[in-house]
Homo-oligomer: A and B are copies of this chain.
Amino acid sequence: MGKELDLLKGHLRKGDQRLTSQRRQILEEAFSTHDHFSVEDLEDRFRRRGKKVSKATIYRTLSLLKELHLIEEHDFGRNTKYYEHIYGHPHHDHMVCLKCGRIEEFRSDKIEHLQNTVAKKVSFKIVHHSHKLFGYCHDCDE
């Protein structure tokens, strides 16, 4: 931890914005786990340790971290969005278990490559992509 904080600091300084304790705490929380977390998850974690950070601030800060590409937002087909830190971590996609909710990561250079080929064929310039497999994980598929 440090590089991502520096990145945030630098960005804030440039925009004449401030590094508040809330922003620092949310960043720390996001990088403290490899799990995918929701806004509610964050609220709970803060609540549990006595630190109160409002929902509004969490949304605003996650939005900021998203712009800086420090975190990524995911829709796993539930009613809430999930987030995960990506800065400093290799790109990957996800498999979502429809039964237990477990999220498994995968990556395939071959798929990424084919994806680029397909896009190039129609002159589509990829900015980012989302590739999700929904089904049953090893433990849930009896």
Contacts and interface: CB of A to CB of B under 8 A. Distances in A.
Interface in A128-142: 128-138, 141
Contact of A134 (B75, B128, B135): B128
A115 interface: yes
A122 interface: yes
B124 A114 contact: no
Contact of A131 (B110, B124, B131, B138): B131
A119 interface: yes
A119 B138 contact: no
Interface of A: 75, 95, 97-98, 104, 106, 108, 110-111, 114-115, 118-119, 122-138, 141
